Structure 1
């Protein structure tokens, strides 16, 4: 019930927003006449450069290791500034032809700079990016120049040059992919992949344009294109504005899947049904689109079934209706007091014209001096998707959704507002399909480890792709047991749900844990549904197992037939001979135990002492005589001698037999 209470509290807070900004933004000095602000998408650092660096450069990263301050000589306005991956070299572009480098030692800047000018007298540098510890790529209007930087010698060595006309570019470090725009219209895009020392040009492709201007001019702009990773696949994301007119259905986002051997192919279209200025983030494999005019955001999930499909292209509508980002307040310095500046909270202007978004989930307001991370409020969107099956499909694809899924499952079984059994069955199938995949992957991983432990990655993590796994223990602890404990629950409905869950597990060939069967049995017994219990066992709705048999034995006092049901179950198992004998002996059915022992051929290994003790305690001389003679004959067959071996510790019973029946009653020793 704790999960249910936690989610309910979160949902009660606010149900009109499902996108939010991080509570503690990275704060930096706002942009001004003296201060320029830059963001490095690779290292995820914000640079606040005062007066060209002469008055200091403040670098804010995601943690203290990537944050620093330093000064550098003012040699003119900074166009771009970025640290190498190890933070040992700073690259600064102040002109269209040259990039300067500054070495850092223990966080302090070297006083001597060195530089590299691009090749060609008329070539201009559009930008640059570090692609490894000491390799840097210059993107010029004439192509690409790859250099290796040697910090100790303060030199650069050219590794590779690629000639290609470039209008603009975008770079994604997570995939080591650079995308460059060529042609007059700008719609010919070439993906370029980097690997230490190597540059691989992937096949170029052409982006469809809604209208081609006359005369032709650059119409696919950098601001409308980005690279994203969705469900481990790289896509080029293109915002496509529709021409104005009565037939305008609004803008759309087109996804092109990047491929190594062939041109990127158009796979998905996200229909925005709006026009104006948009910005795109990627959060948890979702495309989050912000619309400035309406001040709302919408969410698309290409992992869900599309609205329609045409020519191998999937068309998607927003998962939810567009809603604004959750309002956020910022602490700012207020009125000076004797103890210092009094802090006050002010509301942030959401969807501000000053906002700039970066991939995957960054929003920067340079004028305000804040960097936020965009995130999704899964708890808030639960009531916004009334179709429980679609909701589960959506949540299974989210990384941190386990608590929310368990809450949805629990509420789906709440008395008075529960889903029908058909819907519950579909939900169970969706959960167990993922669960089965996870178990298969784990089995394959363990098999690989066993066959080649040295080559196996010890840190390899078993996963079910990107989907959350809800196993039987989760269901039992957080869903089924809490529902069973509710006083207003219908035991008939609960049993039906349990049977449906067991059916689904069997359908996906997942071994059912005994605690689920126990919950069924205990529920039936608690409500005196013994006939139904008998039927479930008779028709094998409840599978045979030792724990279930033991539970049935414990129910004999309230339901006498449970004893025979348990005994029959143990016999069917064929691996529970010892347990059957124990049960028979505990019921003083000693001769029945001997007959069973003989039928399964277990007399040779049986403990004669255990049987003789039980027979003696029964205070029936004829029974004791029969058991003693049974084991005498066994000893004779095994060893050619009727006497008990010293290790069997049967001296007490031999003495008792002699007392009761006389020495002459022993089988003569040959």
Structure 2
């Protein structure tokens, strides 16, 4: 894409997008510029205009130096619309795009502010974070093995130095030191710098660069807010964020066949996607081209809280700079140029394909669209929520079962809203927590209203809890009968001593899986020859092979002695 500026202040723009389908001319639009004085009209410089692609949409960011703000415009085929105005805290800024996140570098303050345009608000994702250098050239291997806190001092240059040139979307050319840096998001640091758990969960669920880290962080955040006993409304919003994401990805059905084939080919060929960034020495020596620095050794610790949102690692091979770190990702090379009368600024962009937005007639970025990764690799299922959250926090919250019960009820509400089934063990946990607080009436209410879905596991737990409360045991037995679990129902009747009723039920539903010896033992315990004779007669007719068993001879002998 190219933007041509005109006018006294270079604020009138005409744009052209070059794609495989031809050249698309954008409608003319005007950028907003504040006036410092009545007779002083500032001129927009080329360095103040930045073009980025996030979520498959093309945006333009324009720095207003007078107002210390950043105007965000979105390109459509028939219009260019200003979306919002973002504050800036530095007279010099740079813009990058990493994993669909707009990174605004406040160069004077030496911090980065992150924005996610898919969220409802345009507030920063987290607090401003510093840029952390990770990874150094191979000739600095020994120094590179120091901790992250010493990495910047080991780096010979200056963070945000004069020789840094920012290349869209996520590269930094360090001309003074002959290095090329690649930006990454430190998701742990971002999560640790925000106290708004629901918002940070929504943010993490949209990240695709490291699905395993995203899942681990999300589960840890949910566990933490429960253990900290945050307000139930806050926990409910967190549950909504997690389950909405899982439901959405399940409905989308995962990656497209083409992307899946690419992933399968990578696995069959044994090739591993390159995850490390790469630093290219200006004049590589033979040692530099043959040796690699382990990124974990270079940084000391793979990731740290509250340190940085961007990590830089290194490698050698120049051709790997355009290699995606996600095996399911499609990477293309395209260019983005913004030109004004005062000069021009060119950025070679390595644009990662993104998901198309929902707005009507958006202007395509011209890159191949990347589908969301399969839900099993990124999203958190209800079963994983039970195993990695509720099962782990139950023991630590023994003293406050009412709070945990309220949290689980919010989880069930959220799951029902998006049409997901909760794991059966979660219903068992709810019944146990209610019984622990002697809230048996609520158990009956939840069962009758199907808030607790009838399952075999729940029925067996209700029968166990019913040892202290007989109506609850009856709830469990009724649930077994309603679900057609005849064997378990007959066994439960025998345990309660109702062996004649169990016989009638077994005859009616042809339950042949219960051992006859169980019925015979109950009849002998009653010391009733008539009942024992009835049981022997029943099984002789109901199960003809019973006459050939040792139990038949033994209990017939007992019957003869009783008579």
Look up the match of 1:420. Answer: 231
TM superposition score normalised by structure 1? 0.54
- Tell me if the contact between 2:13 and 2:28 (Cα under 8 Å) persists in the aligned partners: yes
Alignment partner of 1:241 is 2:64: yes
Q: Which structure shows the higher strand fraction? A: 1
**Residue 509 of structure 2: SS of its match in structure 1?**
coil
Cα offset for 1:354? 0.9
Look up the match of 1:516. Answer: 426
Greater C-alpha Rg: 1
- Tell me if the contact between 1:397 and 1:466 (Cα under 8 Å) persists in the aligned partners: no
Cα offset for 1:501? 1.7
Alignment partner of 1:376 is 2:216: no
CA distance in 2, matches of 1:457, 1:278: 38
Look up the match of 1:358. Answer: 167
| Bigger relative CO (Cα 8 Å, ≥ 6 apart) | 2
TM superposition score normalised by structure 2? 0.63
Look up the match of 2:271. Answer: none
Cα offset for 1:226? 4.9
5 Å-filtered alignment, 1:45-56, equals none
Look up the match of 1:293. Answer: 108
5 Å-filtered alignment, 1:87-102, equals none
CA distance in 2, matches of 1:557, 1:507: 35
CA distance in 2, matches of 1:298, 1:348: 22
- Equivalent residue for 2:17, pick from 181, 191, 194: 191
- Equivalent residue for 2:52, pick from 228, 232, 237: 228
**Structure 1's 487 and 505: CA in aligned 2 closer, same or farther, altered over 3 A?**
closer
Alignment partner of 1:318 is 2:124: yes
**Residue 102 of structure 2: SS of its match in structure 1?**
strand
Bigger drift between 274-283 and 555-564 goes to: 555-564
Q: Which structure shows the higher helix fraction? A: 2
Deviations 1:437-495 (A, max 9, x none): 233344xx79x99xxxx999989987479995232233223332332222675222122
Cα offset for 1:368? 1.1
Alignment partner of 1:595 is 2:479: no
**Structure 1's 241 and 409: CA in aligned 2 closer, same or farther, altered over 3 A?**
same
Look up the match of 1:349. Answer: 158
- Tell me if the contact between 2:382 and 2:423 (Cα under 8 Å) persists in the aligned partners: yes
CA distance in 2, matches of 1:468, 1:333: 38
Cα offset for 1:208? 1.8
**Structure 1's 474 and 602: CA in aligned 2 closer, same or farther, altered over 3 A?**
closer
Cα offset for 1:193? 0.8
- Equivalent residue for 2:86, pick from 254, 271, 286: 271
Unaligned runs of 5+ in 1: 1-177, 214-218, 243-247, 307-315, 335-342, 635-643, 663-670
**Structure 1's 489 and 368: CA in aligned 2 closer, same or farther, altered over 3 A?**
farther
- Tell me if the contact between 2:90 and 2:107 (Cα under 8 Å) persists in the aligned partners: no
CA RMSD between the two structures: 4.3
**Residue 412 of structure 1: SS of its match in structure 2?**
helix
CA distance in 1, matches of 2:403, 2:518: 48
**Residue 234 of structure 2: SS of its match in structure 1?**
helix
Deviations 1:474-522 (A, max 9, x none): 3223332332222675222122222222232223321111121222234
- Tell me if the contact between 1:187 and 1:220 (Cα under 8 Å) persists in the aligned partners: no
Alignment partner of 1:256 is 2:74: yes
**Residue 618 of structure 1: SS of its match in structure 2?**
helix
